Amino acid sequence: MIRLENLSKVFPGQDEPAVDDLSMDIYEGEIVVLVGPSGCGKTTTMKMINRLIEPSSGRIFLQGEDVTRVNSDNLRRRIGYVIQQIGLFPHMTIADNIATVPKMLGWDKERTSGRIDELLETVGIDRSYRDRYPKELSGGQRQRIGVARAMAADPPVLLMDEPFGAIDPITRDRLQDEFLRLQREIKKTIVFVTHDIDEAVKMGDRIAILKQQSKIAQYDTPENILTDPADDFVRNFIGTGASIKRLSLSRISEIETTDWPVARLSDSHDEVREKMRSSGRDHVLVLDEQEKPGRWVGKDEVKYDTPLEESGRPAVAVVEATASLYKTLDTMITSYKGSAIVVDEEGRYKGVVDFDTVLEATSAMHSSEREETAQDLQTEGGGR
């Protein structure tokens, strides 16, 4: 979709190139994150794609077409652009801001207006905001309008330069989630620049970790980068806690849950005791009528004078099957028995995970990826 070929940039008056002989391919529909320390040339690289910065040498291909020399204004109208400060036009209404590119492309009023409504809905902003001005919006809302404006003429490619950089952490997290959900529908090809490795891991289908002069240290999926950093530079850049970050990429639904004895509120005390005995566990999980986890009841807590719904302890460490292993682990640590109960979207019981399960799953992850890499190396070696 986007191909950069031997791209270099030397700024006038500087001896060292800011970007040195960079080649990379970006496939259709993927989010590629350019990440690296400040001054590594990641923003320069991105701005060469829409030629806000003209490359000194090398070529840029967009959808197979060499765009290195085409009219840059026309090129930019085909590429959405979102920057950290967003840069909404303060003297124009939200509707006029969004309509910027459609107007330049000569869309008629009706089509533009329809598109504005559609986009406002997509980014979750009420239509009543059409005639408001940017200063009347919160930071998060402005950011959404910035995205809507960039998508106005439905460009196949979006360039985003630290789009969530200037937003408070809580809103940022929400906007990132929203954007990922949106991307699943719109499937744009996105080049995303950030200096934050956690954001890169979260947002990227693939991550390019860049050294000085935009030299690629590693260009791979977040999973592979975290489990198998290419060199010390990447390892240092990821920093401590790579394994923990890796956990945020896997969901519980991907691992086996432990078999655990469950009981119903309607079960008799004898039945409960029998279940414990036959499973060899000293606790059962009691479910309520809707299959929702109710209480943990221990061996010594099954007494004839207490009904099941009052025995033991309430089951609080509950996570949805879509939660990441990171979140699950966090829940487990604070739970009573060091295990978390997995439920579906409706809150119905699906299984239990404990520390051992997660540990097994992570070591399996590491060894399988190591094997894949080993195989890759072998096939590469054999091909030569």
Partner 1 sequence: MGGFLEYLALNWDHVVELAIGHAIVVAISLAIDVVIGVSLGVLVFRRERVAGVALAITSTFLTIPSFALFGIFIPIFGLGYPPTVVALVMYGLLPILRNTVAGVRSVDPAVAESAQGMGMSATQRLLRIELPLAWPVIIAGVRVSTMLLMGIAAIAAIVGGPGLGEDIFSGLARVGSVTALDLVLGGILGIVALALIFDAFFNVLGKLTTSRGIRD
Shortest spacing between CB 341 and partner 1, in angstroms? 47
Q: Does 29 bind partner 1 (CB under 8 A)?
A: no
- Token readout for 182 is 């949106």
DSSP 269: H
Cα–Cα distance, 330 to 326 (Å, whole number) = 6
Shortest spacing between CB 173 and partner 1, in angstroms? 23
Q: What is the CA radius of gyration of the chain?
A: 26
Alpha carbon distances (Å) from 327 to 229, 318, 341, 356: 23, 11, 12, 16
Letter for the amino acid at 9?
Answer: K
Shortest spacing between CB 27 and partner 1, in angstroms? 23
On whether the CB atoms of residues 214 and 42 are closer than 8 A, the answer is: yes
Q: Residues in contact with partner 1, total (CB under 8 A)?
A: 30
Token match 């009573």: residue?
Answer: 336
Binding part of the chain for partner 1, among 90-98, 196-204, 297-305, 309-317 by CB under 8 A, reads 90-98
Task: Select 31 or 137, whichever has its Cβ closest to partner 1.
Answer: 137
Q: Which residues pair with 31 in a beta bridge?
A: 190
By CB under 8 A, name the one of 87, 156, 165, 298 that touches partner 1. 87
Cα–Cα distance, 139 to 117 (Å, whole number) = 20
Task: Select 91 or 109, whichever has its Cβ closest to partner 1.
Answer: 91
Binding mask 50-69 for partner 1 (x = CB under 8 A): x-x-----------------
Binding part of the chain for partner 1, among 93-101, 107-115, 174-182, 358-366 by CB under 8 A, reads 93-101
Cα–Cα distance, 26 to 210 (Å, whole number) = 15
Stretch 147-186 residues interacting with partner 1 (CB under 8 A): 149-150, 159
Shortest spacing between CB 100 and partner 1, in angstroms? 6
User: Whose CA is closest to 299, among 277, 266, 278, 318?
Assistant: 277
Stretch 101-130 residues interacting with partner 1 (CB under 8 A): 101, 104
Shortest spacing between CB 152 and partner 1, in angstroms? 9
Cα–Cα distance, 301 to 304 (Å, whole number) = 9
On whether the CB atoms of residues 249 and 226 are closer than 8 A, the answer is: yes
With helix as H, strand as E and coil as C, how does 144-188 read?
HHHHHHHHCCCCCEEEEECCCCCCCHHHHHHHHHHHHHHHHHHCC
Shortest spacing between CB 75 and partner 1, in angstroms? 7
Binding part of the chain for partner 1, among 36-44, 86-94, 311-319, 357-365 by CB under 8 A, reads 86-94
Q: Does 100 bind partner 1 (CB under 8 A)?
A: yes
User: Whose CA is closest to 24, among 47, 41, 1?
Assistant: 1
By CB under 8 A, name the one of 9, 42, 76, 195 that touches partner 1. 76
By CB under 8 A, name the one of 2, 34, 75, 329 that touches partner 1. 75
Cα–Cα distance, 356 to 295 (Å, whole number) = 22
Q: Does 74 bind partner 1 (CB under 8 A)?
A: yes
By CB under 8 A, name the one of 107, 133, 260, 326 that touches partner 1. 133
Q: Which residues bind partner 1 (CB under 8 A)?
A: 50, 52, 72-77, 81, 83-93, 100-101, 104, 133-135, 146, 149-150, 159
